[in-house]
Amino acid sequence: MRRLANTFGITFVLYFTWKVSLLLLTSQPVPANDSFFYDGPVVNYLLHGDYCNPSLAMVLPISGNEVFCAYPPLYQAVLLGWMKCFGTSELAAMWLHVTLLAGFALAVLQIFRQLKISALAVNIAGLFLFGITFHDRPDTLAHLLAALAVLALVRGLPWATAVFLTLTFCTSLQIGGIYSLWLGLFVVGEAWFAKRKIPWAAALTFFSVLAGLIALVKFGYPRLWEGFREHLAITPSVTGLRVPRLDDILKIVRSSPGVLLVVAMLALLVIKGHTFLRHLAGSIPLRLVVSGSLAVLALICGCLVVLTPNTIHVASYLQPVIVGGALALVGAGLMNAKWRCVTHGLFLVGALLVSIRAIGITTWGVLCHRDVNHAQALTFVNQSLDDAPPNSTVFASAAYLYNTAQRTNITWLHSDWATRANEGDWELRAIKERRPSRLLLTQFDYYRRYERIVSQFRRERGDVEVQITNTARVQPSDALPSMRKVVQHISWAPVIVEFTWPSTTETK
């Protein structure tokens, strides 16, 4: 056991083996709500020749009908090349993200090698990879590029860092911002404590290129800029000042316990005063950890009071590097043997905490897979689509839209974007306005959004026949409100809601 614990990168191998096995054997994790938002334009382009996402057309008319411009485009460019080779299915997209995750893990390992982090510290840090279970957004590519930026900077390659950071911004603005803060603080720390020159030329070029790209889109392609603002107005990252809620705090504790432990450890070391400052002046890993911890602390504070709470998931990717760098300090003379054991134990508990969803996917998710697997779920979906009246409207969850998008005789809408989500029960309003022939919903989407709405619709519209078919025999975590917040998207089994409208105009 001791030999395994001191085998460099063994937990990284374990994580990747788990990811590949899980996808290969159970087609998990089931794509979450946002997946087709970002993948839809590429799928639609390859299937129908238009680079837009029709499933969003009711809410984002530019991105839904003209050209997808709701987000920076680099991820879609990578996805386009991938899907040209491997097809437009949800499984093809899932394998892309596993491949990107493998690249990210390798980049983190190279960062640890460059910093000469001990094998034990690396392996404990690798356990925090199991907290990365939502990876069906552009974020996976953005974090890979950003990890390469970190690697380039610790290797003393500022121009490569600038290139990778620019590419990160071309994939995700939020993630580019967090990593820019981290690396900017690191560069300042290097200048202050190690007396290294600030790479002004690379930094100024980086900011100039970013400003130039923004100006190019805003003034050169005003319609694209308008489409981007169209999305931003509906789902802003900045929500306005608010009082932190208990759910927000619990989400941060569940997703970022490693960073919180690092911050607590650094606070205790700061009490030592000159000893800590002396180590800070002589340790690149410590400067990287401090700058990274400050960046994540800024993210945490933002998620508590001004940013959307889900933004905290960005920290899951930063966590392994910060934890590994911090654990390197444990063996650097800053702690005695007793405190080293306590610290290792606390970080192992933190790794267990972030792995709750991974454990749920591997246990409860496997039971759901044995109940209704991916192929069976798509059979149910296709049978329902075959029975849909021509030219009718169908609301579908993201996981089923890759398949549904092949249909040209129906109007397919994303179940989260069927109408503008302003005040009131927008789902109910969407059903009344669009008069869908059916809803094809994952267990999560049905219980989270539509179970109550469909019941209310039945009470209000007795003239409409509503038939609900839940294909799941094993109750998933999504059906339980308390568990839904912890373990989500583990069942492929669709819930099919069919509407029979009272007049011949029911399917327009």
Contact 332, 115 (CB under 8 A): no
d(CA 284, CA 194): 9
Binned at pLDDT 50, 70 and 90, residue 473 comes out as very high
221, amino acid identity: Y
What tokens were used for 420? 């503008």
Neighbours of 176 (CB within 10 A): 22
Per-residue model confidence (pLDDT) at position 274: 60
Instruction: Categorise residue 236: left if φ over 0, alpha if ψ from -120 to 50, beta otherwise.
Output: beta
Q: What per-residue confidence (pLDDT) applies to 324? A: 94
Residue 240: DSSP 8-state: -
**Is 337's pLDDT higher than 70?**
no
Are the C-beta atoms of 418 and 427 separated by less than 8 Å?
yes
Query: What is the reported pLDDT for 307?
Result: 85
Q: What would the 3-class secondary structure string for 88-157 be?
A: CCHHHHHHHHHHHHHHHHHHHHHHHHHHCCCHHHHHHHHHHHHHCCCCCCCHHHHHHHHHHHHHHHHCCC
Report the candidate in 207, 190, 179, 201 with the shortest Cα–Cα distance to residue 156.
190
Closest CA relative to residue 128, chosen from 14, 27, 284, 26 = 14
Q: Could you tell me where the DSSP H helices lie in 355-373? A: 356-371
Who has greater pLDDT, 66 or 194? 66
Q: What is the pLDDT of residue 1?
A: 62
CA 229 to chain centre: 21
Give ∠ CA 3-8-14 in degrees, rounded to 5.
90
Q: What is the model's pTM?
A: 0.94
Three-state SS letters, 170-218: CCCHHHHHHHHHHHHHHHHHHHHHCCCCCCHHHHHHHHHHHHHHHHHHH
Tokens found for residue 407: 């249909």
> Given a cut of 70, is residue 504 above it in pLDDT?
no
pLDDT-derived band at 508 (thresholds 50, 70, 90) equals very low
Residue 333's pLDDT is what?
Answer: 59
What average pLDDT does range 133-145 have in this prediction? Answer: 92
Looking at residues 352-379, what average pLDDT do you find?
96
At 261-294, the pLDDT tens digits run: 999 988 887 886 667 777 788 889 999 999 999 9
- E strand residue ranges, 354-442: 393-396, 411-414, 438-441
Tokens encoding 468: 């609900």
Are the beta carbons of 417 and 478 closer than 8 angstroms? no
For range 251-269, the mean pLDDT: 90
Q: What would the two tokens of residue 415 be?
A: 């179940």
Neighbours of 115 (CB within 10 A): 21
Count CA within 13 A, CB hemisphere, residue 234: 19
**Closest Cα to residue 476, out of 452, 443, 446?**
443
- Asked if the model's pLDDT at residue 438 lies above 50, the reply is yes
Q: What percent of the chain has pLDDT over 70?
A: 96
* pLDDT value of position 197: 93
> pLDDT at residue 180 above 80?
yes
CA 358, CA 132: separation in Å to the nearest integer?
A: 8
Residue 485 has pLDDT above 90, yes or no: no
What pLDDT score does 308 carry? 83
Cα(229)–Cα(224) distance, integer angstroms: 9
For the cut 80, the answer to whether the pLDDT of residue 339 exceeds it is no
Cβ atoms of 323 and 347 closer than 8 Å = yes
Report yes or no: 181 and 290 within 8 Å, Cβ to Cβ.
no
Instruction: Locate 481 and state its tokens.
Output: 């409100």
Residue closest to 83 by CA, chosen among 36, 122, 119, 118: 36
380 SS3 class? helix
* Higher local confidence (pLDDT), 425 or 171: 171
Q: What is the rounded distance in angstroms from the CA atom of residue 491 to the CA atom of residue 369?
A: 7
Alpha carbon distance 15, 98 (integer Å): 11
* Residue-wise burial string across 319-353, b where 16 or more C-beta atoms lie within 10 A, e elsewhere: bbbbbbbbbbbbeeebbeeeeeeebbeebeebbeb
Q: Which residue(s) pair with 395 in the sheet? A: 413, 439
The pair of structure tokens assigned to 133 is 């279970």
Q: What is the mean pLDDT of the chain?
A: 92
The pLDDT, as a whole number, for residue 507 is: 41
Q: What is the pLDDT of residue 483?
A: 87
Q: How many Å apart are CA 40 and CA 53, to the nearest integer?
A: 5
Contact 79, 42 (CB under 8 A): yes
What pLDDT score does 336 carry? 63
Residue 254 near residue 356, CB atoms below 8 Å: yes
Residue 439, both tokens:
């809803």
List the single range of 179-183, 277-281, 306-310, 365-369 with lowest mean pLDDT.
277-281
What lies within 8 Å, CB to CB, of 227 at 6+ separation is 60, 62, 63, 66, 67, 68, 69, 70
